[in-house]
Structure 1
Amino acid sequence: MSGQTASASNPIIVDDPYKRLEIILNPDGSLTRNPDRYPNTSATPDPKQPIPVLSKDITINQSNSIWARIFLPRQALHTSSKLPLVVYYHAGGFIHCSAASTIFHVFCSNMALELQAIIVSVDYRLAPENRLPAAYDDAMEALHWIKTTPEEWVKRCADFANCFLTGSSSGANIAYHAGLRAAEEADDLEPLKIRGLILHQPFFGGSEKVESELRLVNDPILPPGVSDLMWQLALPKGADRDHEYCNPAVGKRSKVLDKLVSVGWRVLVTGCDGDPLIDRQVGLVKLMEEKGMKVVSEFRAGDHHGVDFMQPAKARALFLVLKEFILSASATVPGDGI
């Protein structure tokens, strides 16, 4: 199936994206999701449990059901050293999953251990019940919560002057748009200082299909038809794929990148050429470089979208890249970032 190719004049459509995603669109605009598709894992906050990374759930906004799962390397409880703070936004095409989903619980737990960082994994509102920019609003609310929270693990163990925004797939899209806003709201976020963005296989699109989307039209993991449906459910009603939330090369968001240059953040973009989104990701890197941003790209040969959640060895390799990036960005002159 993945070996088939297509062209703009001869696309190959494999199946029903609703079936692929195991969702039913209801007349009121909500989704019925298969509750067994993404199992959950409970937090493990008790220091008596013999595990290397502890986790706990904290409410951010009860009325909007916004919360976060905090991941803390156990040894941080026994040292006065502050750890880098990584704010993470989970994947799921804007329509699936939560910070409690087992795949992201395991990923964030391992990331906290390998990076020796505190991870705050934000649970944001999902589309289509809450279309974009709801997730971006929630992402920013989480940052404002972090800067003033009395929560012990964050207040005691996190280095507020060494913060990074990251996410996977649609979560990387959220991290990107939250980053654009955060760069414009520098003063309001103090004492939080963001040093960089880490965009892990970021989810972007556009009205006109790019070569990698045509080449991988029948990709078994994330075929473009599935991406199209996710965007249809997530974007504001009536918006097309060239809306600024989806396509970073259009609209005022392209100009806002100038602000990221002025705050001096570093950006890491990761991906692989077996992902239909690869050309979008390469295009974003080029756009940022043209703006004069400090961008590091890590594009691997082969692999597929979401591979780092499925293969522990790939995740470990990714975490090494992230750790090196964080160390490099943390070594910038004090006063950089916001």
Structure 2
Amino acid sequence: MAAMTSLDGEILHEFPFFRVYKDGRIHLLTPPIEKISPSEDLATGLRSKDAVISTDPPVHARIFIPKAAASDHSCPKLPLLFYLHGGGFCIQSAFSRQHHGFASIMAAEAGCVVVSVEYGLFPDRPLPGCYDDSWAALEWVAAKQDPWIAEHADLGRVFVVGNSAGANISHTLAARIGSVGLPGIKVVGVVLVHPYFGGTNDDRMWFYMCPSNSGPEDPRLKPAAADLATLGCERVLVFVAERDHLMEVGVGYVEKLKKSGWRGAVELVINEGEGHCFYLSDPTSQDAVQLNDKLVSFIKQA
């Protein structure tokens, strides 16, 4: 695998998250992500732990259960939130402080089990690795491979939630469920927060990361009409941010879904005056709290 440390040599490609040198070396432009350990929050009673989904390729997850499940094994089973973090398919982690924090908020406030997926990232795992890893993780959930899932999760009330690149992956999973199904779970809702789809300057980077792509019409980049019409869930909630360069493609996704013949319910929320994934950097801001509250309400409707 190409080294990611040297800045010497002639640059062949310059992308938002990494640059490629003429000799094939790849250098990530962001520093390594600080990862935090799972824990038990004494104030809220929330517990988290890590699980191994696959060793080849390596796929892991962090699982969260709220106080009710952690302290009372007889409590009713809870909805399950299947979370896919963003980061341009090449950075960030389910174990980063930002995404651990978001998953904790969802578990505590929505009263749900959260499975946050640590899928493979480019360049160590080129696309479509992240899509394959996420599907494998969803199959693992459906098979109840972890006792917390088996004991506490109601797999008839599953929500697939992702932001940015994770929202792109979330749509792909819902499309696959609508096409081939997945025994053992029912996806009630899908939440796409500031989703990435084709039609922006980022497409060139996606094509490079996914050498097996089928061009601008690739259904992972440009959701296919047939996939939208048979999307494997009942409800979809899409957030877009006014100052986000991805806002247009997010709004376009909603419009196409409404026209596709899909029989579910879709809602669009515009985060006015905000930028891409603002709620992760300052989860206590008024707009972040409103976004989280809307998502919690969406889950509690199940």
Q: TM-score range by the shorter chain?
A: 0.7 to 0.9
> SS of the counterpart of 2:109?
helix
Q: CA deviation at 1:138?
A: 1.1
Q: Percent of aligned positions with the same letter in both sequences?
A: 32
Is the deviation greater in 161-170 or in 28-37? Answer: 28-37
Spell out, residue by residue over 1:14-66, the C-alpha distance to the aligned partner (whole angstroms, 9 max, x if none). Answer: xx995863x4436675644367442111111x58x555321111000111110
* 1:301 to 2:272 alignment: yes
* 1:146-175 per-position Cα deviation (integer Å, ceiling 9, x unaligned): 112342211111111100111000000000
SS of alignment partner, residue 230 of structure 2:
helix
For the Cα contact (< 8 Å) 1:169–1:202, is it kept in 2? yes
Counterpart in the other structure of 2:65: 72
- Of 289, 308, 322, the match for 2:258: 289
What secondary structure, in the 3-state scheme, does the structure 2 residue paired with 1:205 have?
coil
* Aligned mates of 2:154, 2:24 — CA distance in 1: 42
Give yes or no for contact 2:106–2:296 (8 Å, CA) kept in 1: no
What is the alpha-carbon distance in structure 2 between the residues aligned to residue 284 and residue 33 of structure 1? Answer: 30
Q: For residues 252 and 15 of structure 2, what CA distance do their matches in structure 1 show?
A: 30
Residue 198 of structure 1: aligned partner? 191
Matching residue of 2:9 = none
Structure 1 residues 98, 28: CA separation in 2 closer, same or farther (over 3 Å shift)?
Answer: farther
Deviations 1:182-238 (A, max 9, x none): 12232xx222111111111101122xx5xxxxxxxxxxxxxx4xx345324323257
Write the deviation string for residues 268-317 of structure 1: whole angstroms up to 9, x where unpaired. 11111111111101110000000133211111221000101112223321
Displacement of 1:137 after TM fit?
1.1
Distance 1:141 1:174 in 2: 12
Note the aligned Cα RMSD (angstroms): 2.5
1:244 Cα deviation from its structure 2 partner:
2.4
> Which structure's residues are more often strand, by fraction?
2
Which has more helix, going by share of residues?
A: 1
Q: Does the Cα contact within 8 Å between 2:77 and 2:153 map onto a contact in 1? A: yes
Over 3 Å counting, the alpha-carbon distance change for 1:82 and 1:168 in structure 2 is: same
Unmatched 5+ stretches in structure 2: 1-11
Amino acid at match of 2:180: E
> 2:160 aligned with 1:165, yes or no?
yes
Please list, as runs of the form range in 1=range in 2, the aligned pairs for 1:247-286 lying within 5 A after superposition: 247-248=222-223, 253-260=224-231, 265-286=234-255
Q: Is the alpha carbon distance of 1:33 and 1:197 closer, same or farther for their aligned partners in structure 2, counting shifts above 3 Å?
A: same
Q: Give the partner amino acid of 1:201.
A: H
Which residue of structure 1 lines up, in the alignment, with residue 137 of structure 2? 142
Shift of 1:144: 0.9
Corresponding residue SS for 2:33? coil
**What secondary structure does 2:93 align onto?**
coil
CA distance in 2, matches of 1:156, 1:26: 50
The secondary structure found in structure 2 opposite 1:271 is strand
**How much has 1:258 moved relative to structure 2?**
2.0
Question: Which residue in 2 is equivalent to 1:335?
Answer: none
**C-alpha spacing 1:311/1:35, structure 2 compared with 1 (3 Å):** closer
More divergent stretch after superposition (125-134 vs 105-114): 125-134
Counterparts of 2:212 and 2:133, CA distance in 1: 19
Higher relative CO (Cα under 8 Å, sequence separation at least 6) belongs to: 1
Give the match's secondary structure for 1:130: coil
User: Equivalent residue of 2:105, what SS?
Assistant: helix
Gap change, CA 1:35 and 1:291, over 3 Å in 2 = closer
* Alpha-carbon contact 1:71-1:118 (below 8 Å) kept: yes
Q: Which residue of 2 aligns with 1:243?
A: 218
What is the distance in 1 between the residues matched to 2:220 and 2:233?
23
Q: 1:136 to 1:264 in 2, by over 3 A?
A: closer
Report what 1:178 is aligned to. 173
For the residues of structure 2 that align with 1:315 and 1:118, how far apart are their CA atoms? 21
Select between 300-309 and 32-41 the one with higher mean Cα deviation: 32-41
Q: Tell me the residue number matched to 1:215.
A: none
Q: What TM-score results when the alignment is normalised by the length of structure 2?
A: 0.85
Distance 1:230 1:113, change over 3 A: farther
